[in-house]
Amino acid sequence: MRAARLIKMVLLLQARASMTAGELARELEVSERTVTRDAQALSEAGVPVYADRGRAGGYRLVGGYRTRLTGLGRSEAEALFLSGVPGALREMGLADAASAARLKVSAALVPALKDAPRTAAQRFHLDAPGWFHAPVTPALLPALAEAVWDDLCVTARYRRGDGEVERLLEPYGLVLKAGAWYLCARVPDPGVFRTYRVERFTAVAARDTRFHRDEDFDLAAYWAGQAERFARSLLRAEAVVRLSPEGVRRLPDAVDAPAAREGLAGAGEPDGAGWVTVTLPVESEEVAYAQLTGLGPEVEVLAPQGLRERFVRDAARLAALYRGA
């Protein structure tokens, strides 16, 4: 445990010019006192860790010290070669750079781990696009990826509705979701973050000016929040239903996840038979009908009246159909 932490500490200092005890403590999830002891242990082992005293002080490696990758274990080496998404890298125009990086890492591994790239590729493969949809690489994706890497402002034209709009954007990151690419960018005026579907860009021109990246921006957290808000924004109507215990169990598989969470969180107390009444956010009556029919007799629609009547009619048709059979 401590050996792994010491290696991580060296790699952190190798990647950054200097780090305070507090920064190291947060990264390593230990106390500042432990950081002090670990720095001393590294120094005694011959790793040139130097502590700058004073308010602006911190820890740094002396003389451009670099460690080799001989500390990697087998599972770590194999995981390293799983960290890329070959198709996505190719679409962004980074296949050659990724290949060169993998060759360099392979060359630095100890002989016992030389087969790590092959064993990882034999066991795991990521196919991001959904079923029954041919993946299409947006033509302007490589240009956007280059701007993202270099923090370059871009002037972009984007299809919206029946027309096009032109925007000055600060491209912060790209996200691949179910085979579709999205750009997360900040619009300098009014200074807000927005999400764009890459295939809708019709023109992208990188500028010579770089934008100042907000170091607190967390792409994964931003995307998770956007995805949640988007999913919730589609739920503009409501349906009141009664669910059996089996219906409660199966609801998250039948409707959208935000709808199931919100509905079940506000569910009433079970009746004598264990059925509960739930007010469920839905996209529309048509979508609610398609989703709730999958629950069969484990759900009773109470409202809206039009949706309930549709279930009554179809239930009667089903009963007549099976009586005839």
Q: What span, in angstroms and rounded, lies between the C-alpha atoms of 208 and 206?
A: 7
Q: Are 141 and 198 in contact (CB under 8 A)?
A: yes
Handedness of CA 171, 175, 180, 182 (dihedral sign): negative
Looking at residue 130, the DSSP 8-state letter turns out to be P
- Give, rounded to a whole angstrom, the gap between the first and last alpha carbons of the chain: 68
Q: What span, in angstroms and rounded, lies between the C-alpha atoms of 194 and 185?
A: 6
Q: What span, in angstroms and rounded, lies between the C-alpha atoms of 111 and 98?
A: 22
Q: Are 146 and 161 in contact (CB under 8 A)?
A: no
The torsion angles phi and psi of 22, rounded to 5 degrees, stand at -65, -40
What is the value of pTM for the model shown? 0.60
Q: What span, in angstroms and rounded, lies between the C-alpha atoms of 159 and 30?
A: 49
| Residues with Cβ within 8 Å of residue 105, at least 6 apart in sequence | 69, 80, 81
The torsion angles phi and psi of 154, rounded to 5 degrees, stand at -130, 150
The model's pLDDT over 201-239, given as tens digits with 9 standing for 90+, comes to 999 999 999 999 988 899 999 998 988 888 888 888 999
The model's pLDDT over 80-108, given as tens digits with 9 standing for 90+, comes to 666 666 677 777 777 776 766 676 667 66
Q: What span, in angstroms and rounded, lies between the C-alpha atoms of 25 and 315?
A: 63
DSSP code per residue over 198-255: GGGEEEEEEEEEEP---TT--HHHHHHHHHHHHHHHT--EEEEEEE-HHHHHHHHHHS
The model's pLDDT over 41-66, given as tens digits with 9 standing for 90+, comes to 888 888 888 888 766 678 988 877 77
The model's pLDDT over 98-142, given as tens digits with 9 standing for 90+, comes to 766 676 667 666 677 777 777 777 777 777 777 777 777 889 999
- From the list 54, 140, 50, the residue with the least C-alpha distance to 91 is 140
Q: What span, in angstroms and rounded, lies between the C-alpha atoms of 82 and 121?
A: 8
Q: Which ranges in 255-304 belong to alpha helices (H)?
A: 257-265, 285-292
The model's pLDDT over 144-194, given as tens digits with 9 standing for 90+, comes to 999 998 999 999 999 987 889 999 999 999 998 878 899 999 999 888 999
Strand order in the sheet with 163-177: 192-197, 180-187, 163-177, 152-160, 201-210
